[in-house]
Amino acid sequence: MTSVAISDLSLSFGPVEVLKSLNLEVEEGEFVVLLGPSGCGKSTLLNCIAGLLDVTAGQIFIDGKNVTWEEPKDRGIGMVFQSYALYPQMSVEKNLSFGLRVAGLPKNEIIERVSRAAEILQIEPLLKRKPGALSGGQRQRVAIGRALVRDVNVFLFDEPLSNLDAKLRTDLRVELKRLHQRLGNTMIYVTHDQIEALTLADRIAIMKDGLIQQFDSPSNIYNNPHNRFVAGFIGSPGMNFLQGALVSEAGQWFFNAEGLRVPLSDYRFVHPPQEGQAVEFGLRPEHIVVGDASTTQPVTMQVDTELVEPMGADTVLWTNVAGHALTIRTDSESNVKTGDNINIGFNTARVSIFSENGERV
Amino acid sequence: MSNNLTNQQAPASEATGRQRRHPLLRNLSAKIAAIPMVLVTLVGFVGCSVWSIVYSFTSSKSLPRETFVGLKQYDRLFDSSRWQASVENVAIYGVCSLVFSLGVGFLLAVAMDQKIRFENTFRTIFLYPFALSFIVTGLVWQWLLNGDFGIAQVIRDIGFTNFEFNILSDREYSIYAIVIAGLWQGTGFVMALMLAGLRGIDQDIWKAARVDGIPAWRTYLFIVIPMMKPVFITTLVIIASGIVKVFDLVVALTDGGPGVSSELPAKYVYDWMFGRGNLGQALAASTVMLSTVLIILIPWAYLEYSQKKDATHG
Ligand SMILES: Nc1ncnc2c1ncn2[C@@H]1O[C@H](COP(=O)(O)OP(=O)(O)OP(=O)(O)O)[C@@H](O)[C@H]1O
Ligand SMILES: [Mg+2]
């Protein structure tokens, strides 16, 4: 069943069109991550779903109900902000219960909900404290608790972890995933951290300039990017792109670039290729095999190492092949040195080829 | 002192030497920089206050004399009907300006915060009176409140021919003329302070409150106003000091009249000191003013300070 449906949503701030006729359907119980560069309209979209911004055109449905013009409190959503947005002069308990009391819920019901949320988030010992006396992680937990007590089906998160340090972010990320498994709510989560997106999401919506570029499972986003933008945005270090053209010879397609000729025997075309078509050839640094093992790969070549960057768990090699820059990620065991000429290999089943307009070929 | 200096010159390896340094010597350069200010405060404020208190027990006339007469000046002060009127008036003026300039100033700021158009224009209009001196304000309002050709005449011209409004020459209400003029001058400034405070509130707080379904007035009352406590305290101090020292406004607007109906303590002090050449009486009055301020200030400062201490320790 669809939990949140957005159809042809547009939003402009004066002359600036931030969201452009955007469509999105989120299934019940799904964890959806909105991922995109800064300023692409992720927060704006989330605020529209929450009802904190009036849309210019389009409709929003939550649990089958058209809520386009409903007040935030009537939409059945809870929201968590990057800045926590706790009420600083109230104790944690009052932060959690204030909205419920204003809504006129019976006292024992309020107590029950608050203690349940506190138990789930393990903030019982903090209930009497004020937000000022809490650490960042504890504050964010309280903020999540405030959404939890509302007993709603849809949770919205706007970069909830980006104010925390790296270690805490990892811990809370795991906790959020557990929370989602336990509650089974629909969650829509905004971030610009790809690791967060790839680890948390059931499906990721990659946004750019107010449009969704691809809405797909993390593995599809990673392995089958629909366009050049998605391919370049996901992955670190980023995908290698080589400029060239497609040519065919005896029924076999090749990628041709200056001093390079790659047979595309394993590549699955989504659109029929054309002779001489100008394309970009995308190859992920981590899909390149280095050294002796490379001989087993369908495509092999030799590259010159220009720079070696050890990163702990793995090593990044900045190499050059016939004038094309190629980044390679390999494990830290390989003892390649700057200036070495090394053998590499890869499988064209794992590459992505994009036409000039950025679409996958 | 010399002991501390030798400590400082001790070898660096003796790390404890640094820790044992006298607390007075910590942040030494900052303390040296503060010395002129401390001296000004000590001599200017504390010194002059003590001098005033001492001479309030003498029978000094135009010049200070050391003939002590005990509490005689105070007896006379509290018997004086003019002083009694002054105290009563400052109470009226104080309560009215506190309540209304805080209340109206805050409401104006809230109105301005609703993303209205021409906000800058309105802000300038409201803030403009604050740029005038009290003398000008006094003269402006003397004209406006004049029963013969001020606002009253305008209303009569509109058609209400029997309209009478002349609080300036009414013993009962003349102090309210001063209240009105004072509010006109000061409210815009309070509004500007409050607006700055409101703008300092994180927009996410408002969003969170809306998601929680808390109505705007409750958000203001229970979330925003408590968050603005520092702004309110600053504003309160500014308004309160304005109340204690209000002087030129009375001189320009009513000159204390009719009779003594709009006299205020600061004017009492001024008149006795410079007009009537009675230093002892003037200083007795100012000492009473000072002690009133201290009686209010000390418990409050104590409360604030001890709270802060609790917060840092707890
Ligand atoms: N109140 C506003 N008035 C005008 N333009 C706005 C307003 N709020 C946002 N914008 C613009 O809308 C665009 C999208 O903003 P939004 O906050 O949704 O970005 P975002 O994707 O959340 O970015 P980030 O990752 O930096 O949070 C930006 O270009 C921003 O400049
Ligand atoms: Mg954002």
Q: Grade residue B303 by pLDDT with cuts at 50, 70 and 90.
A: confident
In whole angstroms, give the CA distance from residue A114 to residue A208. 39
Q: What is the pLDDT of residue B306?
A: 74
Of A100 and B153, the one with more pLDDT:
A100
Task: Tell me the CB-side half-sphere exposure of residue B82, using CA atoms within 13 A.
Answer: 19
Read off the pLDDT of residues B36-88 as tens digits, 9 standing for 90 and up.
999 998 888 899 899 989 888 888 888 888 888 888 888 888 888 888 889 89
Model's pTM, two decimal places? 0.82
Residue whose CA is at the smallest distance from ligand 1 atom 17: A43
Of A71, A83, A98, the CB nearest to B202: A83
Pocket test for ligand 1, best of A9, A12, A40, A47 (most atoms within 8 A of CB): A40
In whole angstroms, give the CA distance from residue A109 to residue A93. 14
Q: Is the peptide bond before B230 cis (omega within 30 degrees of 0)?
A: no
Residue among B220, B122, B251, B136 nearest B185 (CA): B136
Alpha-carbon torsion (A233, A238, A243, A245), positive or negative: negative
Residue B212 to residue A150, Cβ atoms within 8 A: yes
Of B212, B218, B229, the CB nearest to A73: B212
Number of the ligand 1 atom closest to the C-alpha atom of A190? 22
Q: Which domains does chain B have, with CATH numbers?
A: 71-313 (1.10.3720.10)
Q: What is the pLDDT of residue B17?
A: 47
In whole angstroms, give the CA distance from residue B234 to residue A128. 29
The mean pLDDT value for B153-178 works out to 83
Alpha helices (H) in chain A, listed in sequence order: 42-50, 92-102, 107-121, 136-148, 166-183, 194-200, 218-223, 228-233
In whole angstroms, give the CA distance from residue A183 to residue A189. 15
Let me know: does A207 contact A40? Beta carbons within 8 Å: yes
Q: What is the pLDDT of residue B6?
A: 42
Q: How far is CA A296 from CA A158, A293, A347, B42, B75, in A?
A: 46, 6, 10, 89, 111
Read off the pLDDT of residues B215-253 as tens digits, 9 standing for 90 and up.
999 999 999 999 999 899 889 888 988 888 888 888 888
Q: Grade residue B173 by pLDDT with cuts at 50, 70 and 90.
A: confident
In whole angstroms, give the CA distance from residue A241 to residue A34. 25
Phi then psi dihedrals of residue B156, to 5 deg = -60, -40
Residue among B304, B287, B298, B295 nearest B83 (CA): B287
- Please report the ipTM that was assigned to this predicted complex: 0.87
Which residues from B are below 8 Å from A when comparing CB atoms? 202, 204-205, 207-215, 218, 222-223, 226-227, 229
Q: Which domains does chain A have, with CATH numbers?
A: 2-230 (3.40.50.300), 240-355 (2.40.50.140)
Structure-token pair, residue A84: 């926590």
Read off the pLDDT of residues A160-208 as tens digits, 9 standing for 90 and up.
998 888 888 999 999 999 999 999 999 999 998 999 999 999 999 999 9
Q: Grade residue B107 by pLDDT with cuts at 50, 70 and 90.
A: very high
Residue ranges in chain A modelled with pLDDT below 50: none
Q: Angle, nearest 10°, between helix axes B174-199 and B81-112?
A: 30
Neighbours of A85 (CB within 10 A): 24
Query: Which strand (E) or helix (H) includes residue B139?
Result: helix B134-144
Residue B214 to residue A77, Cβ atoms within 8 A: no
Q: How far is the CA of A73 from the centre of ligand 2 (A)?
A: 21
Q: How far is the CA of B59 from the centre of ligand 1 (A)?
A: 73
Q: Grade residue B1 by pLDDT with cuts at 50, 70 and 90.
A: very low
Q: How far is the CA of B66 from the centre of ligand 1 (A)?
A: 74
Q: What is the pLDDT of residue B123?
A: 83
